[in-house]
Amino acid sequence: MAAAAAARANRKKRGSIKEYFKGVKLEMKKVVWPTKKELGSFTVVVLASCAAFALVFWGVDTGVLAAIQAVCF
């Protein structure tokens, strides 16, 4: 009995979906979006980082493969 009352009270506390989306809209107005120039530079940094990590992983993979082949065969 007490658990059901607590569940009902908790449901009322959460609010409605309409209030949730009002809050989302208010928060989205506070967001500072990057300019096209900033977005372009961020994209270049991300792509360069991905390429660098890919090269590092390729190098490590090649080295480990060579070491395993040297030991096993």
> Which residues touch 34 (CB under 8 Å, ≥6 apart)?
42
Q: Which of residues 72 and 61 earns the better pLDDT score?
A: 61
How high is the pLDDT of residue 26?
A: 97
Domains in the chain: boundaries? 2-72
CA 61 – CA 58 distance, rounded (Å): 5
Q: What token pair was written down for 34?
A: 């990057």
Q: What token pair was written down for 37?
A: 């120039």
How high is the pLDDT of residue 48?
A: 99
Instruction: Name the pLDDT band for 5 (thresholds 50, 70, 90).
Output: low
Kindly report, residue by residue over 25-66, the tens digit of the pLDDT: 999 999 999 999 999 999 999 999 999 999 999 999 999 999
Overall pTM surpassing 0.85 (yes/no): no
Q: Is the pLDDT of residue 8 over 80?
A: no
